Each structure stands twice: as structure tokens, then as C-alpha cells.
Chains A and B, each alone.
Chain A
Amino acid sequence: MISHLFQRVLLIAAAMLLAVPASAELYGAQGSMLANGMQIVAVPNHRSPVVSHMVWYRAGAADEPPGASGIAHFLEHLMFKGTPKYPDGIMDEVVARNGGDQNAFTSHDYTAYYQNIAVDRLALVMEIEADRMRNLILDPKEVATEREVIIEERRMRVSNQPAAILDERLDAALWLTNRYGIPVLGWEQEMRGLSREDAFAFYHRFYAPENAILVVSGDITLEQLKPLAEKYYGSIPRVGEPNARQRSADLDATANVSVTYSDVRVRQPQWWRKWIAPSYNAGNKADVYPLTIFDSIVGSGSTSKLYRALVIDRKVAAGVGVSYDSAAVSYGTFSISMSPSPGVSIEQVQAALEEELAKILKDGISDADVARAKERILAGLVFAKDSSLGAAQGVGGMLVVGVPLEEIEDLPERLRAVTADQVRSAARKVIVQSASGTAILLPKAGG
């Protein structure tokens, strides 16, 4: 199926936006565990009789065996092909005939499947999803056709997009042996070799209740969800131990790298840099919330420090973007991107950014800046509740990388508790001490 969100960067931005609701009650998500080890969560929102039903597997591209890059995403596509009960791609038709939308997405750390549908059809999609957790069948001919589809997807998302080509190279250089250096879609030559057996091996190892999280948001309570979950997922036997999620955490040897790529299809140069940053699971975890606030101070909106300095005052950049991704099993990333203004070179815009960052880190973050950023973030949290379908994505994307439900719910309090000194210190550690990768995208003569 369509995998929209194969890039971690996007995913985490989504999780950050949604996993931070306002009051002490937050989402009001309710969690439980089935006897077979499957975690189940309901995120009630009774505004209307629809639900988003999601199953998240703790298995993504970073869990692939060496040489089989892309198998997690390929399997995601193949999961729609069929089971003895729902053969020949019929599950798409069944869901559509019931007024539902379904799709799936793959990241480095997880694979997720979802259906948005009227709540009175919830049992139907639970049955389908539970069925394909263990009963997938794969026709070799369909596997061969679908392999062409994922290669075409790669052409669309990567080969046809110079910025994506460069970003792949940058990740490979920055992450070195860490599995985040391998593209979720896979390297093309390895994708060509992906077999039905590779898909089944990944499936049998990871698609099991102890590796899965069920999240249903919308017109549902945990009381209502429990018996349904027991009925459809509770009978699936545990296969083994949960995925230990081994990730290379040894980044001592990493260097600052810079990758330049020129392409005739590029007209407007672009610059971006990613720093390896703490996540909920790696590095200094206590820095996650301070960095969330730092992200807002320097990069959120047109009153943010970098936008004002680089775009409004110095006019060296036409735009600047900042994002912090903390929801990862291994390290997270802090990223800044810029489009230089006409007539401004990449070297000039990079130097200007480095100057501004140095100023900000030296004495540019006041206590008032921190207080204001906190208030702004907290004021916006109420909008996360506007979305009853989106809540499943926000909660699931955090749970699946190991953030406990209590911590997700407690996010506003954790942000409130951050001090200005913590923000300054966490920011310095990442921007000054952490390894970074710089991408420079340039036009190529002859285009």
C-alpha cells in the first residue's frame, strides 16, 4: 500500500504535535495488556461515531537483516495481498464497501496499519487486521509485481527528487553503522533481490501480539474495546519474546560530515544540517523536553529567533525551518534547513546561521524567552484534541518507540518543569558537541 511516512523526520513531527494536549487530563488515553502480550489503548473522543483503528508493530527498517534493506516496507505492501479468508486483495474492497479508508506506513522503528471507519464497523476491521497478523499468504507472481511497484515508488520519492537523493546520502554518512543510515524504502539494488522468503522471514519474526500495539481513537472506551480486542487479538498465540530493538548506540566514532550534491534539476540551492540528538531512548533523556522548548524558541513561526535574524534582519535566507525529532528507539535528530536568498551563496548563508547560533547559545536565550515558548506551546495543546482520528497516530507513534502512556499524558507537566538553564545546556550539548551532517544541494551547469 501507499507508505506516506517512511521518513522519520515527518513522523516525529506528527507525534510531537499530537502528543502534547493541554490540561492535566490530556488525551485521556486508557491502556491495558492482553494475556498474549499485546498492548491495547483506547483514546476516547465521542464527538462523532467514527474510529481510527491502528495496529503498530515494533519492527521497522532498522530491524531488517543486513542486505535486505526495504523488506519492512515491502512487507507492508504485501500485507494487503491476502489471507485464506480474505484472498486476492479483497480486504481493500471489503473496507471500502463499508465506507472505510485504510492504509499503512513504515519508518525505521515501526510499521503501522490503520483503518478509519464508522464505529459500528470496528469489529470488521479488527477481524481483518487480526487475521493478517498471522495468516498472510503470498502468491509469487503478486510478489514479483509488487516489487516493481516499490521500485517505482522509490523512483517517485527519491530518484525524481534531488533533495531526497541528497538526504539519503547524508543519512548514510551521518549514521554510519547505525541502522538509521539505511533508507526505509531500501537501496535499489537490494530491493531488486527482495524475495517472498525474505518477506515471510520478517513477518514470522515480528508480526506477533507481543510485538504489536493496538490503538483505537474516537467513539470508543477501554471498557468497550477490551472485549473486542480479546475476541479478535486475544486468541493469537505469542510467538516469542518481544523484539529487543537492538540498535547500534555506539556513535563515539562519528564525525561531522558534509555532503554536496549537484543536479541539473536543481534551480534553487538548499542547505540543511542534522545533529544527532537525544531521544526518549538514547543519549541524555533529560534533555528531550528542554530541546523541545529550544526548538520552539529558535524555529517556531516568524517571530522565532532564527527566522528573525536570517530572514527578516539579515535577509540571507528566504526561509528557515527547524525540527526536533525525539521519538526514536535509537538517537533522535535536531535539524535546521534554509533556502538562501537570491544572490547569497551557500557559504554565506551557512556562516550567517553559525554566527547566529553561536550568539543564541552564548547569551541569547533569556528566562523570558523560555517562559514565553512554554506558554505558546501549552496554549496550542488544546488543538491536539480537535482530532479524534489523529489521536491514534499521536499516541501510537510515541508508544511504539517505548514512551509509556503515563509519560505521554504527562507531557505538559514535563514541559512546565523545564528550567531556562536546562534549555541552554541541552541546546549547547547538541549544537556544539553532537555530531552533525550538513547537506548542500546545488544546481549543476548544463541543465
Chain B
Amino acid sequence: MKTLFAATAILATVLTASYDAQAVTVEEVTSPGGIKAYLAQDHTNPIIGLSFLLQGGAALDPDAKLGLSGMATALLDEGAGDKDSLAFHSELEDRAISLGFSADRDAVLGSVSTTTQASSVAFEMLNLAMTQPRFDSEPTERVRRQIQVRLKSESENPNRIASRTLMAALFAGHPYGRLESGTPETVAAITTDDLKQWVKTRLAKDRLIVAAVGDITPAQLGQALDKIFGNLPATTKLVATLPAASVSRKGQEINVEKALPQSIISIGQPGIKRSDPDWYVAQVLDYSFGGGSFASRLMDEVREKRGLAYSVSSSMQAFDAAGLVMVGVGTRNDQAQQSLDVIRAEFKKIQKDGLTEAELNDAKQYLTGAWPLRFSSTGRIADTLVAVQKDKLGLDYLDKRNNYINSVTLSDTKRVAAKLYQPDALTVVVVGLGAKANDAPAATGKRPERERKS
């Protein structure tokens, strides 16, 4: 429901400050205790943002306790040390400190945003949350209840159905194919012991990557790093490791019949990892293919020329163990197959011919020109600096990145497109009545009869 989540949604979108990549000077700070971090100082406003990542995420959760990483990260700020949940949150809220943890497939993520004045308290609370979380029964049961309610509300959401069906098909037998937020049963099975064990085995210095942005000097950051992370264990004791993933190339269409007025189509095929030398070529290709909003082929063919959809786009996903090329579209049931045909034709076309000279130039101009817009708030800069370290791109990456884009040639696009795009290997998920509608002769604007049934 929108009112419930309005505040979060807006926070995520409106705190977009401008930041010129070239104006960001990045330095590497090593704390007295030996913890490294990237730092971009900015003393314009009395604000400090700190983001960090611990490698190893929800994909490492055991099958029977799926959702463990998500539940544990949701509980880290629900009481720690001598402060119960209420005391902990009061400390934060009274000082306008935002502190949060989450987990994705590959990592545990954390961030804190604070005024300079409150930073000492913020860092202390962050340390407490990571080293002495309490997992008291009230917040533990509350968060469990909240996760289960969320799983229930999402269970019939067509976009969720499409994405979890697609991931299950693409990564059959691999942890990536599981629903990382868990199921009501696996979340119910998580014990306080599991949560405490999770903290002991997952949070350690050897898998830590940190970045700080804002009103803090290198010396101050050095002190802060030791204060926040200094007493974490030196090494993680992971029991599981992430297996190599082979993405399905079967080329299949999966229909999930649901009485919906609009079919949601999700498409996936193998992509490339972030470390692939052709990464930048793939970025340029994806911009022209479907990543570039109104400047893309998919938007032009599906929406602008035919009015088949409001939204259609592609993306390159790079996880630790595999990459994906993905496309998503929402389209009227009786036009779902036509949309799919148009999209398949675009896969074939780009695979065969790559880009045109004009498309290549447009893509380069946008991707390089819009780079500064991406540095849009203290938090986003910090997140980017974490990613730069994770992907081992180097201290000067922010300056070099546009050169990487500009060095892509037309023959690069043809060479990479020919092997990257695989029209015969597409896994297609249709949620709705799009598949049924196709069987009906001469589809009209009228909704299929089936839909009124249930």
C-alpha cells in the first residue's frame, strides 16, 4: 500500500544531490588499526555518510533457514549492548541518525548517515549493532512477523512472481535460484541461536569494504574506522561457499496463469560478470538496446511505435557468480505475444549487426555526459565508492571511467553483441493471461472471457 511505504520511497528518490565526478577527490585512508577505506571529503554541509559491505550474502544461507541474512540484518539495530530496541532507536532518532543494514545475494550491506555533531554517537551505535546485537525476543518476533506479512503480501504481486519464477528457471539448483527472502516456513525456523551464529560467522574484517563521504578528515576517519570495526573478528568463519553458477540456456517459455488485465513478462539469458574485459562494451550495447529509457530500441519499438506497453527496459545484472541480460515489460494480455515477438526480433537484430555508428555515438555521449549526475547524494557517492573497491577498479576509477566508455569501437559492439545476445537461449516468463490470449483467434481489445471468472 502506498501510504505505508511512501516515506521510504521518497527518501530513496529525492535525496539526489548533484555531484561532479571530476570534483570528487578520492583518497584511501588506512586506520591506525589497519582498516582501509576510500574517502571523498566534502565539507560543504555538516553531514557524513558511511557505507560498507561484507562479502557473502543471502546466497550462503542454508536451505532450511532461507531468509536468515535478511532477518539478521533487520534485527541488528533492534537493540545492542545495554540498549534495548526502544533505547537504541531513541538514541538514533533524537539525533537524526539513519543507520541501516540489509543483505542481498552476495553481500551484507550497511550504511550510516549522520550530522558531524552526532557522528561520535552514530559510530558508537554502529559498532554496538555489529558486535553486541541483543536479539531480544520482542523485536525478534516482531521482525519475524513483519517479514512473514511482507512475504504474504508479495506472494501474489505479478512482478514478484515473474522475477522469482525467472530466477528459479535461470539458476535451477543454484542458491541464486532460491527466493532469498525465504518462505514463511524457513523464516519460522530461524532461531536466536542461528542469528547469533550468523553474526559470529559473517561479520569480520577480512571481507569488509568501507567508504566514507562528507565532512570528515582522513585522520578523523582513521579513528572512526577503528572505533566502528576495530573489534570485529579478523576473519569470517563461513561454513558455506558460493558455488559456480551456470545460467540456463535452454530457451523456454514459462506461463504463470493469473487473472490479470496486464501480463508481466520477464526475460533472462546469460550475461557477463563485472570483471569481464567487455563490460564497458556491454554497457554501451545495453543503453542502445533497452537500458537507455526513451533513447533505446526496445522503447522505440514496443512503446513509441506500437503503444504496446508503458514501460519496457533491459539491464545487465552482474552478480558475484554470474551475469544476466534481462528484459522486463508489462503489456495487455492480447498483445503479450506481439510484444514478445518484437523483443525477440530485437535480440536477433542486435546479435546480428551490433550497433550503428550513430547509436554508438549517442550511447557514449549519454553515458559519459550523465556520469556526474550519478554522484547525486552523499549516500550514493559512498555506495559507488564501495562498489569501486569491491570490483577492484582503482582509486582513479571515477576519472578513468569515461575513457573506458569512449574507447568502445563499432567493431567491439559487433563482436560482443554476436556472442552476448542469444535469442535462442531466452528464458521467458509470462505472468497473466498473455499465453492464453495467444490461443484465441483474432484478439480484440476486449478482455479474454477467462479473466472475469475468478
Q: Which residues of A contact B (CB under 8 A)?
A: 1-2, 4, 7, 9-10, 13-14, 17-18, 45, 47-52, 80, 89, 92-93, 96-101, 116-118, 144-150, 152-153, 155-156, 159-160, 163-164, 167, 218-219, 264-268, 270, 272, 300-303, 308, 311-312, 315, 318-321, 323, 335-337, 339, 341-342, 372, 375-376, 379-380, 382-383, 385-390, 393-394, 441, 446-447
Shortest Cβ distance from residue A208 to the other chain B in the assembled complex, whole angstroms: 26
B407 within 8 A of A: no
CB distance from A166 to the nearest CB of B (A): 9
Interface pair A145/B330, CB less than 8 Å apart: no
Verify B23–A47 contact, CB threshold 8 A: yes
Q: Please give the distance in Å from B432's CB to the nearest CB on chain A.
A: 9
B51 within 8 Å of A by Cβ? no
B23 touches A48 (CB 8 A): yes
Q: CA of A13 to CA of B9 in the docked complex: distance in angstroms?
A: 10
Contact between B18 and A145, CB atoms less than 8 A apart? no
* A97–B259 alpha-carbon span in the complex (Å): 41
**In the complex the two chains form, what is the Cα distance from A321 to B376 in whole Å?**
27
B145→A342 contact, CB < 8 A:
yes
B89 touches A302 (CB 8 A): yes
Please tell me if the beta carbons of A342 and B148 are within 8 angstroms of each other in the complex: yes
**CB contact under 8 A between A342 and B149, given known A311-B142, A321-B3:** yes
Residues of A within 8 A of B153 (CB): 267-268, 270, 339
Min CB gap B48→A, angstroms: 11
Any A CB within 8 A of the CB of B366: yes
The answer to whether residues A382 and B115 also contact, given A50-B373, A264-B454, A337-B3 and a CB cut-off of 8 A, is yes
User: Can you report 16 residue pairs joining A to B where beta carbons are below 8 Å apart?
Assistant: A47-B19, A47-B42, A96-B293, A99-B368, A99-B370, A118-B372, A152-B332, A267-B156, A315-B142, A335-B3, A339-B4, A342-B149, A380-B96, A382-B115, A387-B14, A388-B18
Residues of B within 8 A of A1 (CB): 294
Question: Does residue B295 face the partner (Cβ distance < 8 Å to A)?
Answer: yes
**B155 cross-chain contacts in A, Cβ below 8 A:** 267
- CA of A311 to CA of B89 in the docked complex: distance in angstroms? 15
Nearest-CB residue, chain A, relative to B378: A386
Which residues of B sit under 8 angstroms from A380, Cβ to Cβ? 96
Interface residue B6 (Cβ < 8 Å from any Cβ of A): yes
Contacts of B371 in A (CB 8 A): 99
A50 touches B145 (CB 8 A): no
Contact A323 B330 (CB under 8 A): no
CA distance A152 to B336 in the complex (A): 12
Residue pair A18, B14 in contact (C-beta under 8 Å): yes
Asked if A387 meets B369 with Cβ closer than 8 Å, knowing A10-B2, A376-B94, the reply is no
Least distance between A312 CB and chain B CB atoms (Å): 7
Segment of B175-183, B227-235, B306-314 in the binding face: B306-314
A-B contact count (CB 8 A): 260
> With the chains together, A2 CA to B309 CA distance in Å?
12
Q: Does B266 reach chain A (CB closer than 8 Å)?
A: no
Q: Of B14, B46, B295, B330, which one neighbours A92 at CB under 8 angstroms?
A: B295
Q: In the complex the two chains form, is A321's CB within 8 Å of B14's CB?
A: no
Q: Of B11, B115, B454, which one neighbours A447 at CB under 8 angstroms?
A: B454
Cβ of B69 under 8 Å from chain A: no
Most buried by A among B17, B90, B330: B17
Known: A116-B373, A390-B16. A163 touches B11 (CB 8 A): no
C-alpha gap A376/B90 in the complex (Å): 10
User: Using Cβ atoms and an 8 Å threshold, which residues of chain B touch A386?
Assistant: 15, 17, 45, 47, 377-378
Using CB atoms, name the residue of chain A closest to B141: A315
Q: How far is the CB of B359 from chain A (nearest CB, A)?
A: 11
Which of B5, B19, B292 has most A Cβ within 10 Å? B19
B131 touches A (CB below 8 Å)? no
Contact with A along B341-372 (1 / 0, CB 8 A): 00000000000000000000010011011111
Give Cα distance in the complex from A323 to B331, angstroms. Answer: 33
Chain B residues within an 8 Å CB radius of A152:
262, 307-310, 330-332
Q: Determine whether the beta carbon of A99 is less than 8 Å from that of B369.
A: yes
Q: Check A10/B4 contact, CB under 8 A, given A160-B261, A387-B15, A390-B17.
A: no
Separation of A265 and B19 alpha carbons in the complex (Å): 43
How many angstroms from the CA of A447 to the CA of B226 in the assembled complex?
54
- Give Cα distance in the complex from A14 to B146, angstroms: 25
User: In whole angstroms, what is the CA distance A18 to B7 when docked?
Assistant: 12
B304 within 8 A of A: yes
Report yes or no: B93 in contact with A323, Cβ–Cβ below 8 A.
no
Chain B residues lying within 8 Å of A387, measured Cβ to Cβ, are 14-17, 376-377
Most buried by A among B47, B155, B308, B372: B372
**Residue B1 is within 8 A (CB to CB) of chain A in the complex:** yes
Bound-state Cα–Cα, A100 to B260, Å: 36
Q: Are A388 and B86 in contact (CB under 8 A)?
A: no
Compute how far the CA of A163 lies from the CA of B17 in the bound complex, rounded to whole angstroms.
32
Q: How far is the CA of A380 from the CA of B114 in the complex (A)?
A: 9
Residues of B within 8 A of A337 (CB): 1, 3-4
CB of B375 within 8 A of chain A? yes
Compute how far the CA of A380 lies from the CA of B375 in the bound complex, rounded to whole angstroms: 21
Q: Are B2 and A96 in contact (CB under 8 A)?
A: no
Take A45-B17, A152-B330, A156-B330 as given contacts and tell me if A376 and B152 are in contact as well, using a CB distance cutoff of 8 Å: no
Task: Give the docked Cα–Cα distance between A181 and B303 (Å).
Answer: 29
Q: Could you tell me the distance between the alpha carbons of A314 and B3 in the complex, rounded to whole angstroms?
A: 22
Q: Nearest-CB distance from B167 to chain A (Å)?
A: 20
- Given contacts A49-B372, A341-B149, A447-B454, whether A96 and B362 have CB atoms under 8 Å apart is yes
Which residue on chain A has the smallest CB distance to residue B45?
A: A385
Complex CA gap A312/B137 in Å reads 11
Residue ID in chain B nearest A265 by CB atoms: B156
Fill in one digit per residue for B298-342: 1 if any A CB lies within 8 Å of its CB, else 0: 000001111111110000000000000000001110000000000
Q: Which residue of A lies closest to B42 (CB)?
A: A47
Q: Residue among B18, B96, B366, B373 with the most chain A CB within 10 A? A: B18
When A219-B18, A386-B45 are in contact, do A321 and B5 touch as well, CB less than 8 Å? yes
* Bound: A342/B152 CA distance, A: 10
B206 within 8 A of A: no
- A376 x B307 contact (CB < 8 A): no
Q: Which of B46, B259, B309 lies in contact with A382, CB distance below 8 A?
A: B46
Bound form: Cα–Cα A150–B307 in Å = 9
CB distance from A315 to the nearest CB of B (A): 7
B44 within 8 A of A: yes
Q: What's the Cα separation between A342 and B365 when bound, in Å?
A: 52
Given A100-B373, A342-B149, 10 other A-B residues pairs in contact with their CB atoms under 8 A: A7-B2, A17-B10, A152-B309, A152-B310, A153-B310, A159-B262, A318-B149, A376-B96, A382-B96, A386-B45
